[in-house]
Amino acid sequence: MALALRADGIPAEVISADSRQVYRGTDVATAKPTAAERRGIPHHGLDLVDPDALFSVADFAEHVEGVLPGIAARSGVAILVGGTGFWLRAIADGLAVDALPWDPAVRASLEADLSEHGLDALVARLQAAAPGLAARVDLRNPRRVVRALEIALLQGDAPLPAPRGYGGPVLRLTLDVADRAEHRAWIAQRAAGQLDGGILAEAQALRTRYPASLPAFSAIGYREAWNLLDGLIDRAGYLAANVSRNLAYARRQRTWFRSAAVDVQVDAGDPAALQLATERALVFAQGTAGRGP
């Protein structure tokens, strides 16, 4: 938001690449920015479907492809931001996402197997059915394993489609926190903020309308909130579980982004580094705004 607000004379618009913020009603758990926090900056990629709808990376790519020409027509610049690395890569680098097969019935069956038998069983099944595909998947991520096994069941252990280049100018800024103790403190503060900010009411309302097993509710916080509501844990247990899951997620993100292209590596805990990154981004925006989608 600070970057968007500093883009003097350039209409800056934010595109969320968060695979859980696309769902309506998942506000507190996903830290979805409120209308006040958006401060008049247009946001895309939020509240696109209900939690029980299927929404894939191909759907996200289609949404963004519809958004970018409008931003270009307004001589603007898009700020693509979020933690879902595959979605970021699909837009910034280009992926042949439409070429990957999918089937709702197969996906539902695999989701049920995951709930009943656990991740290890699905990993073993994937490694047996498609060892090549398994070698390219984060086997600790249940969503990735389910998706890879779905692809394997539908097309075998065939190579993934070759990526098609995005074609537009992109500046890639990757943020991390060098001080791990500081990062842990931020995560703990976020967990407490969620609990005090209404996640219990949100989780309860969603559970009354939708099955708790939906992928939308894999967002960190819902499982812990339901356990707290059901009396299985107390406030301390909620915070401990939330922080633990977020720290594990942060480690997975670091692993993912170490293999990703990056132009500027930024220590988010260093104000001077943030300032330099902001200045570089503004120079980039001045040179590219409105040049095309």
- Over residues 240-249, mean pLDDT: 95
pLDDT of residue 272 exceeding 60: yes
Q: Which of 133, 155, 177 is the last residue of a domain?
A: 155
- Domain co-membership, 223 together with 255: yes
Residue 293 in any domain: the answer is no
- Domain co-membership, 53 together with 196: yes
Residue 41 in any domain: the answer is yes
Average pLDDT, the chain: 88
Residue 185 structural domain: 2-97+163-288
- Domain co-membership, 117 together with 178: no
DSSP state of 192: H
- Total tally of structural domains belonging to the chain: 2
Label residue 233 exposed, middle or buried (CB < 10 Å: 0-12, 13-18, 19+).
Answer: middle
- Domain co-membership, 129 together with 193: no
Residue 280 in any domain: the answer is yes
Q: Which of 37-46, 155-164, 190-199, 283-292 has the lowest mean pLDDT?
A: 155-164
**pTM exceeding the 0.75 threshold for the entire prediction:** yes
